[in-house]
Structure 1
Amino acid sequence: MRLTVLSTLLFAGTALAAGSVQAAGELNLICSADVVICEQMRGDFEKAHDIKVNMVRLSSGETYAKIRAEARNPKTDIWWAGTGDPHVQAASENLTLEYKSPMLDQLQDWARKQAESTGFKTVGVYAGALGWGYNTEIFKTKGYKEPRCWADLLAPELKGEIQIANPNSSGTAYTALASLVQIMGEDQAIDYLKKLNANVSQYTKSGSAPVKAAARGETALGIVFMHDAVAQTAEGFPVKSVAPCEGTGYEIGSMSIIKGARNLDNAKIWYDWALRPEVQSRMKDAKSFQLPSNKSAEVPKEAPKFEDIKLIDYDFKTYGDPAKRKALLERWDREVGAVAN
């Protein structure tokens, strides 16, 4: 009888321990960067930790919508990468969790400020300027003039030759919308986008898709973050990247732990690991040429440098505000998206 009781207790203890190991050994991740770096990050993390990563690749806008919809019953532990505005918006709506990583002191000022401005509910992991990439062979064959400024994209000969993502799904396109508003003023920016619409052949779901289409010769030009254009050049495609002459905005790719994360300890392990210099130095191996947030990380030689670009003082707080974002997107839907080709 005593042996039976002892066996039962041992079995129960073993089952409990096994359940704990299984729970401690998983992480539910949403990655909002390019799928190649997402896969590399997952692989590197799993090699270094006894943790299985269940990863989904979604754009920033899609991720924000998902975690908002699942707020009462979160299915995601951590959100890595993607433009900072939706991360800031999620933080302001209390969808993400405050976490002060021990790695904070190693980060660039812009990455730490991203954390401080949100009450440490998100942090910067990389940065990159907005611009475009164009197919040099198409431009040469068709005799198009190289577009150096935002105004040049309105040239009549570029009708149907430009792609940009939809700002409702893409953080890249929302950054473009918010940047143009800050450069021109809201009414003028909407008027510009209405005129640009005549030259846009497609509003894609993903922010990097337009320049990938340009690389394949399916369109002449894609409005994207410049590092995405550089990545296509590094792959051997005839793509040249451009920083707009009037000035441009930039992203702070961010990372957030979801409030109510089921695997919170593992989320913190990923968070600290993703901020390490050796991890960020590996991003270039996946043809990701952003500026890393850790001051000791290797900056890819191909990365567009901020000092070479006319950057605006991008207002992350204002354009990451839920009410402002909602109003801008509604106006874009009404005045631009509704009349899209």
Structure 2
Amino acid sequence: MTKPAFAAAVLATTTILSGTAAHADLNLYCSAQEEWCQIMAKSFEEATGIDVAMTRKSSGETFAQVKAEASNPKGDVWWGGTGDPHLQAAEEDLTEAYVSPMREQLHPWAIAQAEASGDRTIGIYFGGLGFGYNTDMLAKAGLPAPACWEDLTKPEFKGKVQMANPNSSGTAYTTLATIVQLFGEEKGFDYMKRLHANINQYTKSGSAPIKAAGQGETLVGIVFLHDSVAQAVAGFPIATVAPCEGTGYEIGSMSIIKGARNMDEAKKFYDWALSVEAQDLALQVNAFQIMSNVGAAKSDKAPDLSAIKLIDYDFKKYGSAEERKRLLSKWDAEVSTLPQ
């Protein structure tokens, strides 16, 4: 594939694979940030000579696409995005079991993700959940800096908070599951209802709220901490908050799609993506997650997870198809329909 053709392929990130993808050696579904998806696809192609067609969608959207294509798979590898939908895909037999020879180089939490899925997915990065706010807007509004989840439900933040829709976004589903685990289901849904009253928009993408905060379109964005840090590093007036009550986290994951047409190439990408070489690419695109290879580089700007009060997130339960569907249905019925 020529460089112009490759650039066109990677930039067409919101379309279902067709045309060029039909002739690619590897069809990659990517649920990380746009720039990271592009550099992973391009660097793998350069390292191996394997042509790559990449589609970028949120983890919830990608899960829905993989499920819809189950009888005629078009993708080979699903890389990135929160682990819960990857675990659900594993449970629903949408992904292949594979044990990589790179596994011994990984952190225990990455291997635990594989073990929880019967080796149908694996951890590639770790990131805490929280929010960020626009410091200029906060000062102009004369508001106190929010430090806790509960602060975001206060009347003075009405219309000033943004988060993604948990049906399309892994970030937002992690938020919902975190709140339920943190406060209990009854109090957790009471919190989500009170938060709903202050939400100005539910976005499709999990990182969109903090980008909107950086642009001054909303005061607060609920996101993973590394996405908030990335906005600050990019020069936007963003402060990052790990909520005082405690918070959940994601184990970003990777899976081989069951029935992949290019299985050999899929396994080559899988192994390469777990290498130090591939994981060090994160810092080139200001992705500040903790990577799963113990030898991967870590930025001094990355959130210090040892200073964050993390809950004991139950990935097995909240990544299951039954619990995920139940919580989303309850959120749809009891929260999203409420007036704002």
TM-score range, shorter chain: over 0.9
1:139 Cα deviation after fit: 0.4
1:23 Cα deviation after fit: 8.8
Structure 1 equivalent of residue 145 of structure 2:
146
Structure 2 equivalent of residue 322 of structure 1:
321
d(CA) in 2 for partners of 1:124, 1:214: 29
CA 102–238 in structure 1, closer or farther in 2 if over 3 Å, else same: same
Q: TM-score, normalised by structure 2?
A: 0.92
Contact 1:24 1:51 in 2 (8 A): no
Trace 1:261-276 onto structure 2 (pairs within 5 A).
261-276=260-275
CA 211–25 in structure 1, closer or farther in 2 if over 3 Å, else same: closer
Contact 1:129 1:248 in 2 (8 A): yes
d(CA) in 2 for partners of 1:133, 1:188: 24
1:198 Cα deviation after fit: 1.3
d(CA) in 2 for partners of 1:24, 1:267: 15
Trace 1:4-83 onto structure 2 (pairs within 5 A).
26-83=25-82
1:98-120 deviation digits (Å, cap 9, x = unpaired)? 00000000000000000111111
Tell me, yes or no, if structure 1 residue 134 matches structure 2 residue 166.
no
Q: TM-score, normalised by structure 1?
A: 0.92
Contact 2:93 2:258 in 1 (8 A): yes
AA in 1 matched with 2:160 = E
Structure 1 equivalent of residue 18 of structure 2:
none
1:241-277 deviation digits (Å, cap 9, x = unpaired)? 0001110000000000000000000000110001001
Contact 1:24 1:263 in 2 (8 A): no
1:47 Cα deviation after fit: 1.0
1:309 Cα deviation after fit: 0.4
AA in 1 matched with 2:307 = D
d(CA) in 2 for partners of 1:222, 1:263: 39
1:21-74 deviation digits (Å, cap 9, x = unpaired)? x99961011100010111111111111111111110011111111111111111
Contact 1:25 1:50 in 2 (8 A): no
CA 43–181 in structure 1, closer or farther in 2 if over 3 Å, else same: same
d(CA) in 2 for partners of 1:164, 1:257: 29
1:305 Cα deviation after fit: 2.1
1:72-123 deviation digits (Å, cap 9, x = unpaired)? 1111100000000000000011110000000000000000000111111000
2:96 partner SS: coil
Coordinate RMSD, CA, aligned: 1.2
Contact 1:29 1:77 in 2 (8 A): yes
Tell me, yes or no, if structure 1 residue 311 matches structure 2 residue 292.
no
Larger Rg: 1
Structure 1 equivalent of residue 335 of structure 2:
336
Trace 1:209-228 onto structure 2 (pairs within 5 A).
209-228=208-227
> Which consecutive residues of structure 1, in runs of 5 or more, have no partner in the other structure?
1-21
Tell me, yes or no, if structure 1 residue 201 matches structure 2 residue 200.
yes
> Which consecutive residues of structure 2, in runs of 5 or more, have no partner in the other structure?
1-20
d(CA) in 2 for partners of 1:155, 1:65: 35
1:178 partner SS: helix
1:337 partner SS: coil
Matched residues, percent identical? 57
Contact 2:24 2:53 in 1 (8 A): no
Structure 1 equivalent of residue 99 of structure 2:
100
Structure 2 equivalent of residue 87 of structure 1:
86
1:340 Cα deviation after fit: 5.3
